[in-house]
A and B are shown apart, each in its own frame.
Chain A
Amino acid sequence: MSSSILPRMTTLRACFVSLALAFAAAPHGASAQELKIGLSSSPVAVDPHFFNNDAVSALCSHIYEPLVAIDADGKLAPALAVSWRTVNDTTWEFKLRKGVKFHDGSDFTADDVIFSLERPATIANSPSSFTTYTKSIVAKKVVDPLTIQLTTAAPAPLLPNDLTRIFIVSRKAAEKATTDDFNQGKVEGGTGPFKLVKFSKGENLQLARFDGYWGNKAAWSSVTLKFLPNDPARMAALLSSDVQLIENVQANLVSQFKSNKDLNVFEKMSNRYMFLYTDHRDTSPFVTDKAGKPLDKNPLKDARVREAISKLIDRNTLTEKVLDKLGVPNANPAPPGMFGHNPNLKPDALDIAGAKKLLAEAGYPDGFGITIFGPNDRFINDEQVLQAIGQMLTRGGIVTKVQTQPMATYIPKAAKKELGFGLLGWGVGGGEPSSPLRGVLATTDKDKGLGASNWSSYSNPKFDATLVEALSTIDDKKREKLFQDAAEIAIKNDHAIIPLYNQVATWASRKGIRYTPRPDEATLAQFVQPE
């Protein structure tokens, strides 16, 4: 309580009032209504259209809602739209929810949707724009105040998935607002379960329950999301009850927390798909012979070598030992249960003899030398994972050096294709696997918007054709089959990348607090319940 800053009389009075309120609001004599959460990120904005960034979007999800939501199982669910259907190949119709109020009390209508779809393009200084999800829309039509039709230039079966990223704000509240106005809490333009009280950059976000919310009311009258990116600080905050819930438990503390009778631990297989990209170019900068002399031919270009690398990696050891069980071996960009999951696509088992045979067939019976790169501050135990993979490959004859560095220096080099072989994780959001297929595996083509993160330089016209067809196939069954086929071509047949595992996301809370874990790793106060 901040009551100590008030003069004494006021303090006393405030105490009585809050006591009275506490009794009035808790008919079951139930738990406190205040919730404090420790986040592992420090989001920079609460303007939902300024910065397309997972941490910012998770924060905004408390205040704003999209038309279509992703539920705790990673599937599409109605939010501000109750239903959606295709009118024809290039037109989607969304039926909007009735009786939804914005935080300022005004009604939610189709006009606000139009405004929210247009606003991302007006933010010129965005470091990463939401137009990625809105630019396929060429025409918007209000049929009636609760029905809207969106037309795209080409068939866009993934429009509902894209719209899970676009938060709806009220035109009236936000039309003249800047990003600073949003951050300072001057805009009451959301429909979400919480209203913004105060956003202190680098410190915390304070929220209050929105009592006019259309859905299930939140269990907490006030919520503080504290930004605690320092791991030990976040753990200490939970242990000392400064916060009741934290995300991303330090991997080596998970078992200790589980046996602590004052704490609960929640886990969920994340949709963060971890893999190694491999250089498909004729030469690769860090490939050498065993003595360390550069090779003029790139062994990674041979699919048999890539398959051998995959067979040399013991994924069970990685997930059980190196990751302290915070990983599940997985080869599929769409994890089990997600739309487009291909059950035929299984992670390769450890097979050293088979790998050596493949290497011999490819002309490298004695192996070769290589350097593997990766971050040391981004993924769960990333540095240890890379060290372990280095050992596993060296055991099979591929003498591997390991180089790790902070994400901020690693990513720019990898994006320039200066590294060739390294670790990457891809959060497969939106409830379907098109983003890694499009970004990582498709042949780089600026005009078609494909292959922006294809650091392997992998290119297979058959894969590209299958993916492009999937991206314009409206029929769900057919599209799912095409996604499955595409993943099979690139990963099972071509070994274009070497899939490893999916991370397991973790949360820990004080006893008495329950969290519904989510595969997108987001921490949302509306999913926190008293036990």
Chain B
Amino acid sequence: MLVFLLRRVMQSGVALLVMSVLVFVGVYAIGNPIDILVNPEADSAEIERATAALGLDRPLWTQYLIFLQKAFSGDFGNSFVHGSSATQLILHRMPATLELAFAALVIAIVLGIPLGLWAGLRPESASGRTIMGLSILGFSLPTFWVGLMLIMVFSVQLGWLPSNGRGSTVDLFGLPVSILTWDGLKHILMPALNLALFKISLVIRLTRAGTQEAMLQDYVRFARAKGLKASRIVGVHVLKNILIPIVTVLGLELGSLIAFAVVTESIFAWPGMGKLLIESISLLDRPVVVAYLLIVVAMFVVINLIVDILYSLLDPRIRLNAAAD
């Protein structure tokens, strides 16, 4: 276990380092942020001043080494555009994104598992086929289009839900949370559903496949023979067995929900990290882009680690030492 953890930490360190080099060079290759930032009315002297003020007058490798040195003490530098700490900017936006991601995850579970069970138990019925057909739509329709359609129907036509922004928030353990207010719930419903759409389809398909497989197993037959009620067989025995792969996949998908909610956040003007990333890229705000991607990589590393450990706890046949190889 300890060897596994140590090895994993070292691997993660290398991944972070490689990532930082790639992003640093990538953003540098796009162009000089000064050309975007400095007002067109500024003269050459002002361009030189701004270049020096943001540390862009040094060669790239010097800039990288300075970044690296500071990064080891947890400081990813100051945003070119905001003038304040890039990490702070991202952490400030993180609660909104986390809330959206978890809301989407809950929707995916609450809608996906029952629908998948139904489709798995009655694969040939009309309802089962409809559910599977809809899940194909959920996979294939582009997020931005579905988002706009949701807005057109529920905001513009029906006027039921607000089209953009985050509702009023209350502080929970020092973090602003919007799902505890009616206004907040109204605001989060559409973006969360939009973000969840793909995951709902995923959960439906996983649950259906698992159910179909489980229903043929001996323990189900035995339970039937024993005279257990169908609801107990499905609700307890089948569900318990099929949940393991679903939990694993959802754990991994949570990472992508958090990191790549960019499209949904832009369409619904959700003030999260994804929107910050897009704005930062368009202004070539390198410190924010680098910090964002490093935080995301670190997050994936942690989630993967937790999933690996959970997996070994749930299924004793899997050993962590083997997983590391």
Contact = CB atoms under 8 A, between A and B. Distances in A.
A242 B31 contact: no
Nearest to B271: A203
Contact of A128 (B46, B93, B168): B46
A129 B40 contact: no
Interface string A163-181: 0000000000000000110
Interface in A447-462: 449-450, 452-453
A343 B266 CA distance: 44
Interface string B150-167: 011001100100111111
A92 to B, nearest CB: 20
Contacts of B40: 426-427, 435, 439, 452-453
B32 A242 contact: no
A228 B269 CA distance: 6
B50 A128 contact: yes
A240 interface: yes
Contact of A129 (B49, B148, B279): B49
B53 interface: yes
A4 B84 contact: no
B236 interface: no
A412 B31 contact: yes
A237 B43 contact: no
A285 to B, nearest CB: 16
B35 A415 contact: yes
Given A449-B43, A450-B43, A126 B83 contact: yes
A124 B44 CA distance: 17
A60 to B, nearest CB: 14
A42 B279 contact: yes
Given A2-B183, A203-B166, A232-B267, A125 B41 contact: no
Contact of A242 (B89, B155, B283): B155
Interface string B36-50: 111111111111011
Contacts of B163: 233, 236-237, 240, 242
A233 B268 contact: yes
Contacts of A237: 163-164, 269
A3 to B, nearest CB: 9
Contacts of B269: 203, 226-228, 230, 233, 237
Interface in A227-257: 227-230, 232-233, 236-237, 239-242
Contacts of B39: 52-53, 128, 132
Given A5-B168, A124-B53, A125-B83, A242 B162 contact: yes
Contacts of A446: 43-45
Contacts of A453: 40
A426 B41 CA distance: 10
Interface in B264-310: 266-269, 271, 275-276, 279, 281-284
Interface string A121-154: 0001111110110000000000000000000000
A112 B110 CA distance: 60
A233 B82 CA distance: 24
Interface stretch (A344-352, A402-410, A470-478): A402-410
A31 interface: no
B63 interface: no
A321 interface: no
Most A-side CB within 10 Å, residue of B163, B271, B283: B163
B279 A4 contact: no
Nearest to A241: B159
B233 to A, nearest CB: 43
Interface string A208-233: 00000000000000000011111011
B267 A233 contact: yes
A203 B165 contact: yes
Interface stretch (A43-51, A275-283, A355-363, A388-396): A43-51
A233 B151 contact: yes
Given A204-B165, A239-B156, A242-B162, A5 B181 contact: yes
A439 B282 contact: no
Nearest to A413: B31
A125 B53 contact: yes
B243 interface: no
A411 B36 contact: yes
Interface in B79-115: 80-84, 89, 92-93
Most B-side CB within 10 Å, residue of A127, A237, A415: A127
A413 to B, nearest CB: 6
B78 interface: yes
B35 to A, nearest CB: 4
A447 to B, nearest CB: 8
A230 B278 CA distance: 11
A84 to B, nearest CB: 21
Contacts of B219: none
Contacts of B148: 232, 236
A125 B287 CA distance: 14
Nearest to B43: A449
Contacts of A239: 155-156
B170 interface: yes
Interface in B139-187: 148, 151-152, 155-156, 159, 162-170, 180-183
Given A126-B83, A233-B163, A452 B183 contact: no
Interface string B6-45: 0000000000000000000000001111011111111111
Contacts of B152: 236
20 contacts: A4-B168, A42-B279, A45-B82, A125-B78, A126-B53, A128-B39, A129-B46, A132-B39, A200-B271, A201-B92, A230-B266, A233-B267, A236-B152, A377-B282, A409-B30, A409-B31, A411-B35, A412-B36, A439-B41, A450-B43
Given A201-B92, A233-B151, A240-B156, 12 more contacts: A2-B168, A4-B181, A44-B82, A126-B50, A131-B49, A202-B276, A226-B165, A230-B267, A233-B163, A236-B152, A412-B32, A416-B32
Interface of A: 1-2, 4-5, 42, 44-45, 50-53, 124-129, 131-132, 179-180, 200-204, 226-230, 232-233, 236-237, 239-242, 377, 406-409, 411-413, 415-416, 426-427, 429, 435, 439, 444, 446, 449-450, 452-453
Sorted from nearest, which 9 A-B pairs have the closest CB atoms? Answer: A412-B31, A449-B43, A2-B168, A240-B155, A203-B271, A446-B44, A127-B37, A52-B39, A415-B35
